């Protein structure tokens, strides 16, 4: 009785090995679509070295079809499993892609001209912030602080009641000069053009960020006056499970993040929730000081979120060329003076 599950497991591994070998044979004779279908249909079943081999092969197949975006997606999955993967005796284009990704760069971008192209081919200056770069800095950074860390010419701007950024020193009282997108969908409000870059955007759901460091109104309209920020979210296939984290800090600061993803009936499904709240730092303001608006002692809470917390809740479904996303966001920083 004890041998049955072992025999079944061995049989399953043998079947998966045969499926991979069929995909390898299809690739060798140029039947790329057949190889891709075989691998993608069983990708979640592969494990260990066989999963690495499958991710490598499907990435190479897409690259042979000049689908750089899909090829890079699977190359990223390969590197997430084995960050020290070394491309040996692979196609030169695949070796170059792996070299770019392991050096913290993306080989392709889609934001510059609405089509996949290499960074060197992009018609405007481009910065790509990878998931690895986001993880290297503090977990409590907002999206605006992450951008200010890595993007040349972009800085945080202190204001009375809003978290703001400026590109090349150009800004307004609210962030209205930079177009903010998520998977190509505009986040700036239609009425005011305000596009927040604070805790109303979950950083845990991000795969990478593409930033155009210059005007792009000819392509994206009136809001893209100084820059364009396109947030690319993770795929459910990459997450393949449920992840959560919670942290707390001084000044009554709490942050919780949840992310889940899977494949369901050939559709890629990803859901997320992020909540951030803080009372803010209390600073005493003596009377008759340059900062006081009254003739008595007072105090101010800096960086607080009054009322309901900042949050980002949503889900995304991808099925071939169909993409459906539902998203609820809120973020209102309030510096309260008394």
The 10s digit of each residue's pLDDT in 279-313 is 877 777 777 666 555 567 777 777 777 667 889 99
Residue 332: its pLDDT value, please? 67
Q: Average pLDDT of 325-329?
A: 89
Determine how many CB atoms are found less than 10 A away from the CB of residue 137. 12
Find the range with the poorest average confidence among 24-33, 42-51, 76-85, 239-248.
76-85
Confidence of residue 113 (pLDDT cuts 50, 70, 90): low
Rounded Cα gap, residues 73 and 77, in angstroms: 7
Q: Average pLDDT of 259-269?
A: 90
Q: Which among 332, 210, 326, 335 is positioned nearest to 273, based on CA atoms?
A: 326
Question: What are the extents of the domains in the chain?
Answer: 4-103, 117-234, 237-337
Confidence of residue 257 (pLDDT cuts 50, 70, 90): very high
Ranges of beta strands (E only) in the chain are 108-109, 117-118, 126-130, 154-157, 164-167, 178-182, 185-186, 206-212, 227-233, 241-249, 253-264, 267-277, 281-285, 298-304, 310-319, 322-330, 334-337
Please determine, for residue 212, whether its predicted confidence score (pLDDT) is greater than 80.
yes
Task: Select 4-103's CATH number: 2.30.30, 2.60.40, 1.10.3470, 1.25.40.
Answer: 1.25.40
Cβ atoms of residues 213 and 167 within 8 Å: yes
Please determine, for residue 333, whether its predicted confidence score (pLDDT) is greater than 70.
no
Task: Work out the end-to-end distance of the chain between its first and last CA atoms, rounded to an integer number of angstroms.
Answer: 74
> pLDDT over 70 for what percent of the chain?
82
Q: With 0-12 CB in 10 A as exposed, 13-18 as middle and 19+ as buried, what is 48? A: exposed
Cβ atoms of residues 248 and 254 within 8 Å: yes
Determine how many CB atoms are found less than 10 A away from the CB of residue 133. 16
CATH number of 117-234: 2.170.130.10
């Amino acid at each position: 009785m004890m041998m049955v599950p072992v025999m079944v497991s061995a049989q399953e591994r043998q079947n998966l090995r045969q499926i991979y070998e069929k995909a390898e044979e299809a690739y060798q004779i140029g039947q790329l679509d057949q190889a891709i279908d075989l691998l993608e249909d069983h990708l979640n079943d592969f494990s260990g070295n066989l999963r690495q081999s499958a991710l490598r092969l499907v990435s190479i197949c897409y690259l042979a079809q000049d689908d750089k975006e899909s090829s890079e997606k699977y190359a990223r999955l390969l590197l997430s499993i084995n960050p020290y993967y070394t491309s040996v005796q692979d196609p030169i284009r695949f070796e170059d892609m792996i070299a770019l990704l392991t050096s913290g760069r993306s080989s392709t971008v889609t934001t510059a001209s609405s089509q996949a192209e290499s960074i060197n081919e992009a018609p405007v200056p481009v910065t790509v912030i990878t998931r690895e770069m986001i993880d290297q800095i503090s977990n409590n950074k907002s999206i605006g602080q992450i951008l200010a860390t890595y993007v040349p010419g972009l800085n945080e701007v202190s204001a009375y009641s809003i978290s703001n950024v400026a590109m090349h020193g150009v800004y307004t009282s609210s962030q209205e000069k930079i177009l903010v997108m998520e998977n190509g969908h505009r986040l700036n409000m239609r009425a005011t053009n305000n596009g927040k870059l604070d805790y109303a955007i979950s950083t845990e759901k991000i795969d990478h960020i593409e930033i155009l460091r210059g005007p792009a109104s000819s392509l994206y309209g009136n809001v893209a006056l100084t820059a364009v920020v396109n947030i690319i979210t993770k795929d459910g296939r990459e997450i393949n499970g449920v992840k959560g984290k919670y942290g707390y800090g001084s000044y009554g600061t709490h942050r919780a993040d949840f992310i889940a993803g899977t494949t369901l009936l050939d559709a890629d499904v990803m859901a997320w929730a992020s909540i951030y709240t803080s009372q803010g730092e209390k600073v005493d303001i003596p009377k008759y000081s340059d900062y006081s608006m009254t003739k008595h002692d007072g105090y101010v809470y800096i960086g607080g979120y009054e009322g309901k917390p900042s949050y980002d809740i949503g889900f995304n479904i991808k099925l071939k060329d169909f993409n459906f996303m539902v998203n609820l966001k809120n973020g209102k920083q309030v510096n309260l003076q008394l």
